[in-house]
Chains A and B, each alone.
Chain A
Amino acid sequence: MLFWQILIDGFAISALYALGATGFTLIFGVSGVLNLSHGAIMVGAAVAAWAAAGELGVGPYTGALIGVLAGLVLAFATYFIAVRPIQLSKAIAESEKEIFILTATLLWGIIIQEAIAYLFTNNAKTVLPIVEGVTTVFGVRTPRNEYFTAVICWVAIGLLWFLVNRTRRGKAVMAASMNPRGVTLLGIELSSIYLTVWAIYGLLAGVAGILLGMFLGVSSYSVGPLTASAFSIVVLGGLGSVSGSLIAAYVVGYLETGTAYLISPAYRTIPALLLLVVVMYLRPQGLFGRR
């Protein structure tokens, strides 16, 4: 009973973590950017969906669509406001661009977070679920929405896989993550690849944010923990390795769920943090890092 409970709950939460972390790692892999406004973008998408579905009353489907659009818009805004100007800047030395992008995206995330708090208050918001009701599998009563979350996450990840491996544009993105100069020599504009990646990222973060909003609810306080968990999953799996992030997401998701059920919810995040420290000492490039 408890075993199935952990298995099912862990699966859903891990799928959500995986989806959130995939976009994050893709951007790092292609352009070397660690986007610390990640959590804010997810929450922004969720709040947009919540406001559209609840306050304007457009229904859950249109609401979710508006949320995804918000994720896309926020991702592009992040790129053009906090990332691109620094990449192009001549006043900042190449070696320092990394810390500047970190600081700028961090500030940008705070700006989004505060704007949300100002416009929609700090209260926790639960997005209207698209699928309602509960279902019993292996004697565990689970909201249907939880299965829906897991399915959508894996469909989105599957679509991403298809895009990257089977389409021309996706292959160009993959090539850019391996060797940016080589792609330029083949006559592909790097800046257009970056735009593609940020668009993919915005869609993924938007979907992940809305699902999170339906599943657990979001508030402007979730911004920091969301960014931190994506960051640690991505580092655990190996920066830039998408399959590594997927596996790491499941490791972290199950560790957290298992701890919460078997020991105490208060200790939820501790084993995952300990694992992260151990991995950093023994294998700094992460479990599946390429370095």
Chain B
Amino acid sequence: MPSFVTSRLFWIAVLTVIVALVLPTYVSGYVLGLLTVAYYTAVFAMSWDLLFGFAGEVNFGPTFLIGVGAYTAGILDAHYSPGLSIWLCIAAGALAAVVGGVVLALPALRVSGPYFGLTTLVAVLMLQNFIVVAAGLTGGEIGLAVPDVISIDAKTNYWIALGFMLVSGAILFGLSRSAIGLILQASGQDKIQAGALGFNVTKHKLAAFVVSAFFSGLAGALMVFYMGTASVSTFVDVGVGVQIIIAAVLGGRRTVIGAAIGAIFLIGMGELLRPLGELATLIVSVIALVVILFFPDGFLGIIRGGAKA
């Protein structure tokens, strides 16, 4: 059965990728811009799923890693603009996020469950406070304007985002199906038993944090140079983190691919319902709640359930 499920998943993935590839020929620049953001958000959600779904760490602060990556890249570019290539800034952002991931991992090795969840939440609030207080460096509540962008062409941005999502998705998915993913899953479910089987739980969890932080930070930094601006409300706010968590659980946790589907769905639905104004978020939340209550395995769970029946 598992091979059948994976093959079905595989074909769905292939079909989606083909649709994504031919899309730029048919839709407007506005839709492409929307999808670009959706693809970056998909990477955020997949990185979160690696930590939660596999390592079992309830991380309420995905935006801590994203924000560190985004702001590091943005600040470097804003201060050393012509001299420093944006790709160096992006690399520095990803690196800074990895450091942030290690910092976040330290309490995770000591505390668990709701206690760790709160630590990550506090990390986000501290980062948010820091950005607002150090307004001279970070642009504060108004946001940080970045002089350079990757490209002003909607199609180029779309291809970069799509390529980035596919590559990181493939790496994260591969990692989750490898021996490392299995060990992570084991240590997430029963830390002591996994340790007793001879696996180094600490080392694997640390690795999960580093990988998750790397992709979150990289995606955050890329998104800064797509938008041309970094602000608390798009990269750091707890609400953004909540949306990422909802996307991952909605799509189907512990699947990596589901997280991407959930993220694209959330952003797409938000846009479709935009004419309804204030009601849009309300309706999306109701849909998400219904899916979580009745289909705890998310969208991918629904597809798999259909396959079994």
Q: Identify A100's interface contact among B117, B121, B281, B296, CB under 8 A.
A: B296
Verify B293–A99 contact, CB threshold 8 A: no
A107-B246, A114-B278, A228-B238 given; 18 more Cβ-contact pairs under 8 Å: A86-B293, A89-B296, A100-B249, A100-B292, A104-B293, A106-B245, A114-B281, A231-B118, A232-B118, A232-B122, A266-B132, A270-B126, A274-B126, A280-B107, A280-B119, A280-B122, A281-B110, A284-B110
Verify A107–B285 contact, CB threshold 8 A: yes
Given the interface pairs A114-B281, A266-B132, A273-B129, the reply to whether A82 lies near B122 with Cβ below 8 Å is no
Q: Identify B282's interface contact among A98, A99, A118, CB under 8 A.
A: A118
* Complex A-B: 21 CB contacts under 8 Å: A81-B289, A85-B293, A86-B293, A96-B296, A99-B58, A102-B58, A102-B117, A103-B249, A107-B292, A110-B285, A118-B282, A231-B121, A232-B121, A267-B129, A269-B129, A273-B126, A273-B129, A274-B126, A277-B126, A284-B110, A285-B115
Does A2 touch B at the CB level, under 8 Å? no
Q: Which residue of B lies closest to A115 (CB)?
A: B282
Q: Which of B224-239 contact A (CB under 8 A)?
A: 238-239
Chain B nearest CB from A81 CB (Å) reads 8
Q: Identify B242's interface contact among A99, A104, A110, CB under 8 A.
A: A110
Q: Identify B245's interface contact among A85, A103, A239, CB under 8 A.
A: A103
Verify A284–B115 contact, CB threshold 8 A: yes
Q: Identify B285's interface contact among A99, A114, A274, A280, CB under 8 A.
A: A114
Q: Which residue of A lies closest to B107 (CB)?
A: A280
Q: Which residue of A lies closest to B123 (CB)?
A: A277
Verify B289–A107 contact, CB threshold 8 A: yes
Bound-state CA distance A86–B245 (Å) is: 18
Count, chain A residues at interface, CB 8 A: 43
Bound-state CA distance A224–B60 (Å) is: 13
Q: Which of B278-309 contact A (CB under 8 A)?
A: 278-279, 281-282, 285-286, 288-289, 292-293, 296-297
In the assembled complex, which residues on chain B have CB atoms less than 8 Å from the CB atom of A85? 293
Bound-state CA distance A81–B246 (Å) is: 17
Q: Which residue of A lies closest to B291 (CB)?
A: A107
In the assembled complex, which residues on chain B have CB atoms less than 8 Å from the CB atom of A81? 289
Chain B nearest CB from A105 CB (Å) reads 10
Q: Which residue of B lies closest to A97 (CB)?
A: B296
Does A131 touch B at the CB level, under 8 Å? no
Does B163 touch A at the CB level, under 8 Å? no
In the assembled complex, which residues on chain B have CB atoms less than 8 Å from the CB atom of A89? 293, 296
How would you classify the secondary structure of chain B's contact residues: helix, strand, loop or mixed?
helix
Q: Which of A29-51 contact B (CB under 8 A)?
A: 34
Chain A nearest CB from B11 CB (Å) reads 26
Q: Which of B124-165 contact A (CB under 8 A)?
A: 125-126, 129, 132-133
Verify B296–A92 contact, CB threshold 8 A: yes
Q: Which residue of A lies closest to B245 (CB)?
A: A103
Q: Which of A67-90 contact B (CB under 8 A)?
A: 81-82, 85-86, 89
Q: Identify B133's interface contact among A228, A235, A267, A280, CB under 8 A.
A: A267
Chain A nearest CB from B237 CB (Å) reads 9
Chain B nearest CB from A183 CB (Å) reads 23
Bound-state CA distance A131–B209 (Å) is: 53
Bound-state CA distance A99–B239 (Å) is: 17
Chain A to chain B: the 6 pairs with minimum beta-carbon distance, closest first: A114-B282, A284-B111, A118-B278, A107-B289, A110-B285, A92-B296
